[in-house]
Amino acid sequence: MNKNLTCNQVMSLLNFFISGELNNKLREYVEAHISKCSRCRKKAEELKFVLLKYQNIKEDIMNEHKESILNSAFIDNLSAYVDKELDADDNIKIKIAILILYHHAAKICTPFHTSIRRHFQQE
């Protein structure tokens, strides 16, 4: 691969670059391009911002609902729910648990989406 990457090549590598999944040589090529290209640098910063916000939301949800999400009975029942193997009572319990998780995720994600929209509108 040519060490002078194009913007399209950098854009296709940004997720991997930000998450630290590129080998050293590719990482250096992306860094070199980003240091010279303000457009790609801006996109990298925006993606870092979005990924950091997403990670924070994911951690908030996991911390708030760790017991219910990681409860093996819930996971087993969720699988049985998908396979339509639950009795009526367990079916209702799963639906309630899913609605609670959805409600909390929506409560957390709405401000996240709003802050991202504001961030991009400021440019």
DSSP states of the chain = --SS--HHHHHHHHHHHHTT-S-HHHHHHHHHHHHH-HHHHHHHHHHHHHHHHHHHHHHHHHHHHHHHHH-HHHHHHHHHHHTT---HHHHHHHHHHHHHHHHHHHHHHHHHHHHHHHHHHT-
pLDDT, averaged across the chain: 77
- pLDDT at residue number 85: 82
pLDDT of residue 10: 93
Average pLDDT for 20-25: 91
Asked if pLDDT for residue 112 goes beyond 60, the answer is no
